[in-house]
Structure 1
């Protein structure tokens, strides 16, 4: 019996996405921070495979192939030698093989993903940007993946091109931008971005990355209002960070001084994610997942919060129990008393860092502009050098 497709599943209820492979694998020693490229699919396939399996066990309905930033232009633009060792095609093929293998172990769909490219930021022609996307998409088509995701785009103009190239394959297309309530980096409002994504051909639209679950839902709400006002329809999708970012600026967590190596104090709890899942569902979001910082236990929290709506239990719940129910077997009576929903819903976790502020001050150096100085940008190391290459905010 053939698997139900993504649009059919969304019409019936909730689809749970997986989590943040790039950050998870960086912490495990398989991805280099800075380039954030996915050559681990070729170098360490067992690590990528295991992470897929953990998200599947946690309740994910989609295995998104580990193809983030796997364009040849990005691989060539990174300042280390993996781009010489592996082509984008080789990485994407390996990622498809792994995702398909693990998806077959459950009832999961496989998605291929496109993300923003240096080609667009260097002000290349739209035809060059299209060609960059087309090369990546062809691998997904050849592997007969179930649908395509255009994610992590800061400029709506670029994601429109990506959507159009994906739509030409005949596969369902999801599209998410890494923007907050202020809109894209060219000043296009979130609601207008949503309208343009739908008109470009996306059946599923929303946001991913850069902002925490609750700021991301604010943006999705604006997108929902935008498409409703335009008389358009699309399924809503949200895959936020697993970090609290109430103090982030327009570019999100990359402007926070803790990015990327000191974000742990900001990690959301599984109970925060249960609240996010409920608020997302109530908003009408039906594709609910996560991005950077999301670990399998966060995905399991989504599955547990929406267990009744989904009509099934994640395998990972076998070792968890809802709302800490397993704690009733603890040897300490005060810990046994925590085996209840009210305790975890009302807890205000302490950071254990008495000299740390609750919020940070974003760097606010400005938005990197597309130009012919990418080589200079890559080589710049001091604040003074970089300020010359960005539109600095006074």
Structure 2
């Protein structure tokens, strides 16, 4: 598919979503910059913004080139009370934030850091979505703490809750770039591998293409990522949804998607891997001997 220059930049997010357009978010900053040696591990402070602005700018450019439409500011843990209010585990706090933001007259997107079990006090995802929309949010969804499959399950519950209440909203999902089928209510922070042993859980680009398609089929039109989501994951979203968007990102213009660039490889058995069916059916091995397939989350 030839690039078509992308969507017009003079339309607001609600205009795009109401027209059925796919909006692609960005990905990981804290964990990605920590891996690159810029962020102090432990408190996860965004000191890199002032100490290494070029590194932050470069990561923004990578997400942009990979296909992102939206660049979020790197401000997590930047407030005086450190991590308070940078994401929402309590529906009450999220509702207060929506009410304050509505005073600006701008569209409000509210995502919660929850899984299928709901918020910290057990308020279901469906009930959370209802409260957010009633408070004035035009876009609702989830971010962080859980992987692609679990995050989409939560959004589905939000959608069902709104439908039962006779309410409508646009949906947004920004999952982890890690698989978390064994997580409890707290998500990946309760895993013994968090935060420095998560690499065996990293989603492949093919996992993320499936995530993008499942999200789209669910009715989600703002699709992005959170911790562990690298630029190549964002590119996977852009490639999977290129037919709907009408263009490929610059990072995919030459070779398309689903391994089509392998058709020039010198090994015939690798050239045979240019088909989508090969990668969709692949069950990748971790290559780690003596390791369990799942973990027991900490209390």
Q: How does 1:251-330 map to 2 (within 5 A)?
A: 251-330=186-265
Deviations 1:193-218 (A, max 9, x none): 11111112211000011111011010
Q: In 1, distance between residues paired with 2:102 and 2:255?
A: 40
Q: Is the 8 A contact 1:116 1:158 kept in 2?
A: no
Deviations 1:167-194 (A, max 9, x none): 1111111111111100000111111111
Q: Is the 8 A contact 1:204 1:235 kept in 2?
A: yes
Q: Is the 8 A contact 1:249 1:362 kept in 2?
A: yes
Higher-helix-fraction structure: 1
The TM-score, its normalising length taken from structure 1, stands at 0.72
**Length, aligned pairs only:** 291
Measured after TM superposition, the shift of residue 31 of structure 1 is: 1.6
Q: Which has the higher contact order (CA 8 A, sep 6+)?
A: 2
User: What is the match of residue 5 of structure 2?
Assistant: none
Unpaired stretches in structure 2, ≥5 consecutive residues:
1-7
Deviations 1:290-312 (A, max 9, x none): 00000000000000000010112
- The higher radius of gyration belongs to 1
The TM-score, its normalising length taken from structure 2, stands at 0.94
Unpaired stretches in structure 1, ≥5 consecutive residues:
75-114, 118-150, 365-394
User: What is the match of residue 51 of structure 1?
Assistant: 59
Measured after TM superposition, the shift of residue 320 of structure 1 is: 4.2
Q: In 2, distance between residues paired with 1:220 and 1:152?
A: 17
From 48, 66, 71, the counterpart of 2:74:
66
Q: In 2, distance between residues paired with 1:35 and 1:207?
A: 23
Q: In 2, distance between residues paired with 1:32 and 1:350?
A: 32
Q: How does 1:25-44 map to 2 (within 5 A)?
A: 25-44=33-52
Q: In 1, distance between residues paired with 2:101 and 2:39?
A: 27
After superposition, the Cα gap between the structure-2 partners of 1:235 and 1:40, relative to the gap in structure 1 and judged at 3 Å, is: same
Over the aligned positions, Cα root-mean-square deviation in angstroms equals: 1.3
2:200 is equivalent to residue 239 of structure 1: no
Deviation >6 Å, runs of 4+: none
Measured after TM superposition, the shift of residue 319 of structure 1 is: 4.9
Which range is displaced more, 317-326 or 339-348?
317-326
